[in-house]
Amino acid sequence: MATSPKAGKDNFTRYLVIGVVVLVLAIMVVPTFLSKNKTVSQAIPSTVSAADGYAVVFNADLPNLPVVDIYEDFQCPICQQFEGLNGKYITSLVTEKKATVKYHILSFIGPESVRAANASACANDEGKFVDFHNALYANQPASENSGEWSNDRLIAIGDSVGIKSDSFKSCVNDMKYEGWVGKVAEAGAKANVNATPTVFVGGKEIDRKSEYFSADKFKAAVERG
């Protein structure tokens, strides 16, 4: 018995709809699969080590200095407040070799924290970590993960502190140190750090309430060592 034209048309329509649905599902699944299987670079900056929690460290080779560990997230507003009060003093500890300063760059807040942390490691390769670190806080967006800290914007911030090399641009765009960002986060968790900023002097956490946001008290805590 011959198939009626109507039945054939209905079958064609049904198969067409099924095909479209399968195609849409494939389009949705493939990016997800690729994102889950994305290869993350495991490169780490040459100046960091697991022994220091993968921190960017200054003056580690000088004896008898107080040791300051700073755990921070570049998108953290409280970190920006801490930096506003104490940033110049901390920079002087580095440049005048008055303390061993370990910057632990965390990424609690989200993808733009990861991008900024990666870019800071790229700046470290250029010998400009502290300058770039300070410039990030000076240019912190008003809201978190707003899209303002794109790679292009981070490269522009680097340019503003004198980082103009193609290697820096490639490092930022390629997320060269994304794996390192994860290692810093893991080390921070092992150190029981669950908030930023968190600061240790001589291995002892200083008083968040009284010493973080008083420049005189913070300086006194460091000098006590």
How far the first Cα of the chain sits from its last, in Å, is 96
Distance between CA atoms of residues 85 and 182, nearest Å: 28
Instruction: Calculate the alpha carbon distances from 168 to 55, 103, 119, 173 in Å.
Output: 19, 20, 8, 9
Closest CA to 69 of 196, 200, 186, 191: 200
Mean pLDDT across 87-113: 97
Distance between CA atoms of residues 120 and 175, nearest Å: 11
User: The whole model's pTM is what?
Assistant: 0.82
Reported as a single tens digit per residue, the pLDDT across 189-215 is 999 999 999 999 999 999 988 888 899
Find the DSSP H helices in the chain. 5-36, 77-95, 111-125, 129-138, 151-160, 166-173, 178-190, 215-224
Token code pair at residue 78: 């409280």
Average pLDDT, the chain: 87
Under the banding of pLDDT at 50, 70 and 90, the label for residue 41 is confident
Residue 110 region, left (φ>0) first, then alpha (ψ -120 to 50), else beta? left
Whether residue 9 has pLDDT greater than 50: no
Whether residue 99 has pLDDT greater than 60: yes
pLDDT score at 209: 85
pLDDT score at 109: 96
pLDDT score at 179: 97
Distance between CA atoms of residues 126 and 47, nearest Å: 12
Contact 199, 68 (CB under 8 A): yes
Under the banding of pLDDT at 50, 70 and 90, the label for residue 18 is very low
**DSSP H or E run through 203:** none
56-58, strands of its sheet edge to edge: 56-58, 100-106, 67-73, 198-201, 204-205
Mean pLDDT across 115-133: 98
Whether residue 22 has pLDDT greater than 70: no
